[in-house]
Amino acid sequence: MAVQTAGNTTNPGTTNATTVDLGPAAALSCRECGHRVPLGPLFACQECFGPLEIAYDFSAYETEELRKLIESGPANIWRYAPLLPVPADVAGKPNLNPGWTALVKADNLARELGVTGGLYVKDDSGNPTHSFKDRVVAQALEAARAFGFTTLSCSSTGNLAGAVGAAAARAGFRSCVFIPHDLEQGKVVMAAVYGGELVGIEGNYDDVNRFCSELIGDPAGEGWGFVNVNLRPYYAEGSKTLAYEICEQLGWKLPDQIVVPIASGSQLTKIDKGLQELIKLGLVEDKPYKIFGAQAEGCSPVSVAYKAGHDVVRPQKPDTIAKSLAIGNPADGPYVLDIARRTGGAVEDVTDEQIVEAIKLLARTEGIFAETAGGVTVGVTRKLIENGALDPTLTTVVLNTGDGLKTLDAVAGTGLTATIRPSLDSFREAGLV
């Protein structure tokens, strides 16, 4: 099938760092030792092997000037371009333009859970490929453009494959996505339809990841931007936009409590980073907030460590229906533990049965059909209220990061309430009136 190749045609990987325009992004900085290097397709510190993240220069705008700029921006993540590692003219480039998804005031759910302080669901199923992954891939795409890459790649077991395939198609990049060869046919179709290369690897997700790391170091991978490997520092920043949107949609206010799913833990750490930035920039009032992490019991390494009082996370072999959260060795686990403890939050987990119940609860009360990850956050919210860790009198935001249409199997038991003949007599007999 025809795959378009387009974009910057300079020799990939040789772009001079000083010519890279990624807006307020000033450098890469090691989260562990603080060592700074110029912006480039790097993800690990050369000094201490710690994770690199973006260091910004936000001095270009005064607070109220920045607020006005954001409020007059497009109804997508690019309204926050001044706070992201992207060029100022990003909104004019071909991109899926995700974000600015609904923050739903969930009054029916609040009644069921006993929340009186205001309950909101941040519903990221409204993104172009119906998961929050569109936010992070959009950042990685701009970095790939800046570094002269022409192929967008990733390892994935689902949502990310579709997000990368779609974004590459829109932007005129070649895409090559690696997945375990025995993935469910439905998920293969969702990723393959965008027409990029979709390669099945004989092995499990760990084998796929290992292969991708090899490929980055090989000439065969030259010119390739792996969104969640060599572009990870840029990619990860996309999750900050969840924090920005929630606060702006609350009228430039911090929520009191926020419940976030944990896969690698990156999303939770970046939401915290985003909230901190808004405070420092004066866009919201500085006040305490609590961040809660949510896992499935069948993949709960961070929750287990939190409850045991540990600082390190012991890897698990995942076994849960919440496949999009099934990372047994979460890279950002220790940072998540730190944030949950520092903010007065917690990390909790729920069983697969509780996940399914929570998916149905959210659908029945608010008309939102969440994927299993959304069942995890709603289920954990309920559990945190029951065990007293979450205060129901405070403003609470629960994240739904994906769409129920992608994990239909989880609620496959749901069905007809009655079957009748096409007659009023038969209808009356069914006892529905």
Which of 44, 192, 281, 385: binder of a copy of itself (CB under 8 A)?
A: 192
Closer residue to a copy of itself (CB): 172 or 282: 172
Near a copy of itself in 96-155, by CB under 8 A:
96-97, 100, 102, 107-108, 126, 128-130
The answer to whether 251 contacts a copy of itself (rule: CB under 8 A) is no
Near a copy of itself in 367-396, by CB under 8 A:
367-369
Closer residue to a copy of itself (CB): 17 or 220: 220
The answer to whether 421 contacts a copy of itself (rule: CB under 8 A) is yes
From CA 17, how far away is CA 334, in angstroms rounded? 31
Mark residues 201-240: x for contact with a copy of itself by CB under 8 A, - for none. xxx---xx-xx--xx--x-x--------------------
CB 428 to a copy of itself: min, Å: 6
Which of 14, 72, 308, 412: binder of a copy of itself (CB under 8 A)?
A: 412
The answer to whether 165 contacts a copy of itself (rule: CB under 8 A) is yes
Token digits of residue 102: 């609904």
CB 317 to a copy of itself: min, Å: 19
Closer residue to a copy of itself (CB): 103 or 346: 103
Which of 270, 273, 323, 406: binder of a copy of itself (CB under 8 A)?
A: 406
DSSP secondary structure string for all residues of 161-176:
HHHHHHHHHHHT-EEE
Residues in the chain: 433
Near a copy of itself in 297-336, by CB under 8 A:
none
Closer residue to a copy of itself (CB): 11 or 46: 11
CB 421 to a copy of itself: min, Å: 5
Q: Which of 310, 249, 243 is nearest to 279 (CA)?
A: 243
Q: Which of 234, 63, 57 is nearest to 136 (CA)?
A: 234
Element (H, E) at 413: none
From CA 146, how far away is CA 234, in angstroms rounded? 11
Q: Which of 395, 267, 391, 237 is nearest to 339 (CA)?
A: 267
From CA 325, how far away is CA 262, in angstroms rounded? 6
From CA 100, how far away is CA 122, in angstroms rounded? 10
Which of 366, 382, 384, 398: binder of a copy of itself (CB under 8 A)?
A: 366
Measured distance between the N- and C-terminal CA atoms of the chain, rounded to whole angstroms = 55
Element (H, E) at 127: none
CB 343 to a copy of itself: min, Å: 31
| β-sheet bridge partners, residue 234 | none
For residue 168, give every residue at least 6 positions away whose Cβ sits within 8 Å of its Cβ, in sequence order, or none: 141, 152, 174, 175, 194, 196
Which of 169, 227, 260, 284: binder of a copy of itself (CB under 8 A)?
A: 169
